[in-house]
Amino acid sequence: MNKMEKKDYQIGDEIRTWSVCIPDNAGKEVEKTLKSTWINTGKKEKEFREKICNRFKAPYATATTSGTNALKIALKSIGVGSGDEVVSTPYTFMATNTSVLELGAKPVFADIQYDTLNIDPVSVAEKITSKTKAIICVHYAGNAVDLNELREVASAHNLPIIEDSAHAMATEYQGMPIGSTGDMACFSFQCVKIVTCGDGGVVTTTNKELHEKMQKISWYGINRDAKKLDILDPLPHSPDGLGLKANMNDIIATLACSAIDYLDTALEVRFKYGKIYREELGSLTKIKLMNYKEDRKPNYQIFPVHVENRKKFAEYMWSKGIQVNINNRRNDIYEMFGGLQKDLKNLEKADNDVILIPMHNDLNDNDVSRIVDTIKVYDSQ
Ligand SMILES: Cc1ncc(COP(=O)(O)O)c(C=O)c1O
């Protein structure tokens, strides 16, 4: 990509918080798919699912139209519906929790850990009731949740965990990629994710039965593979329950395949600049980094930091031509989730002081030195 060309999403010459990463060959690959005239879910979608399974050591994968639909499919596959509760994190993009609401169930918010922004397994244990049907966690900013501790809580109550892994493509926990272990992991390929196809998603699982259910739910409750060559009626007689229209088509799958093939190159940039940020900004006084625990490997999908006077910091950074942004608000500010909760103390602190500094694939060494130097000057004032 030519750094000099201004992107449509740039306002001026500022260093952006995020960018869109599309490999150069993606357009040509899409052209081939278009010319093949098969643009529905088909060969490319299968190839994409295989790529996901191979790259992330995931036994099974269902490709979807979005991360939100991946979450809904996962929730539906374990029967979450009206009257059920799902213990979830309030510090996330609202889709994590609107997907629960859309199925008629209620997200019940546990507190987060202030130093990782991830759901706190201790608080999860306190929120479980007889109505709880599942637990949702988010590997926030691509920094993995305390999965062992969370799994202990879940198995004590015989509950499945859905890992909202929208930020966590290629994140590792104790040497294993997110999505390779556990019940279900839902990924998003929305435009600013490391792997993007415009919009898309995938659910991985280690459970064959759940996988077969999710494959059906993604397409009206029908097993696509059971379609037969029948000139009059190629569909099986009856759907297996009410499904969604959430299958990934081959145009989108082609983009997704190109992005997965480019993933290691994309990750190199993030690993490089994530390391620089941690080395250069790790011992400041006004800016505090996340706690990146030793047994996990973050993908640096985004780079949140805690800053005491966030507005002042933002004004300063913007005045120096560096964009910083709030990524998510505590979800209980949205009326639909039942109103503000007073018992979520770490959430309250984080909601007041977390801000993103730039992390994306268009950054270069000069940008990153400028960001680091600018932050250091702010810290020293
Ligand atoms: C944590 C989280 N969950 C879910 C989603 C929803 O994904 P999608 O936009 O692909 O539906 C997002 C999107 O950014 C997200 O950040």
- In this structure, the residues whose C-beta lies within 6 A of any atom of ligand 1 are 66-68, 92-93, 95-96, 138, 164, 166-167, 188, 190, 199, 201
Residue 1 is predicted with a pLDDT of 44
Distance CA(331)–CA(88), nearest Å, equals: 10
Instruction: Mark whether 239 and 283 lie in a shared domain.
Output: no
Integer-rounded Cα Rg, in Å, for the chain is 21
Residues 344 and 233 in one domain: no
* Helix (H) or strand (E) segment spanning residue 376: helix 365-380
* pLDDT on residue 5: 67
- Check whether residue 8 and residue 49 sit in a common domain: no
Same domain flag for 75 and 10:
no
Given 261, 281, 310, the domain boundary residue is 261
| Same domain, residue pair 245 and 115 | yes
Q: Decide if 156 contacts 168 (C-beta within 8 A).
A: no
CATH classification of the domain holding 365: 3.90.1150.10
CA of residue 67 to ligand 1 center, whole Å: 5
DSSP 220: T
Residue 248 has pLDDT above 70, yes or no: yes
pLDDT digits (tens, 9 = 90+) for 294-341: 999 999 999 999 999 999 999 999 999 999 999 999 999 999 999 999
Same domain for 169 and 285, yes or no, is no
Ramachandran angles phi, psi of 219, nearest 5°: -140, 75
Residues 293 and 320: their CA atoms lie apart, in Å, by 32
Domain boundary among 227, 244, 261: 261
**Residue 268 sits in the same domain as residue 235:** no
CATH code at 43? 3.40.640.10
Q: Report, as an integer, the average pLDDT of 151-171.
A: 98
On whether both 257 and 270 belong to a single domain, the answer is no
End of a domain among 236, 261, 286?
Answer: 261
Q: How far is the CA of 246 from the centre of ligand 1 (A)?
A: 15
* pTM reported for the whole predicted model: 0.96
H-helix segments, 282-355: 310-319, 345-353
User: Per the structure, how many domains does the chain have?
Assistant: 2
Ligand 1 centroid to Cα of residue 188, in Å, is 6
How many Å lie between the centroid of ligand 1 and the Cα of residue 200?
A: 10
Task: Kindly state whether residues 278 and 199 are assigned to the same domain.
Answer: no
Q: What's the pLDDT tens digit per position in 81-124?
A: 999 999 999 999 999 999 999 999 999 999 999 999 999 999 99
Atom nearest to 70 CA in ligand 1: 11
Q: Which helix (H) or strand (E) holds 185?
A: strand 184-188
Domain extent for 202: 26-261
Q: How far apart are CA 161 and CA 149, in angstroms?
A: 12
Decide if pLDDT at 189 tops 60: yes
SS3 165: coil
Are both 226 and 128 inside the same structural domain? yes
Helices (H) and strands (E) in the chain, counts: 12, 13
Give the chain's mean pLDDT: 95
pLDDT confidence of 13, banded at 50, 70, 90? Answer: confident
Same domain, 325 and 226: no
Ligand 1 center to 286 CA (angstroms): 30
φ, ψ of residue 224 in degrees (nearest 5): -60, -35
Neighbours of 155 (CB within 10 A): 11
pLDDT band per the 50, 70, 90 thresholds, residue 125: very high
Bridge partner list, 349: none
Average pLDDT over every residue of 28-46: 96
- Residues 231 and 368 both lie in one domain: no
Residue 229 burial class via C-beta count within 10 angstroms: exposed 0-12, middle 13-18, buried 19 and up: exposed
The number of the ligand 1 atom at minimal distance from the alpha carbon of 193 is 14
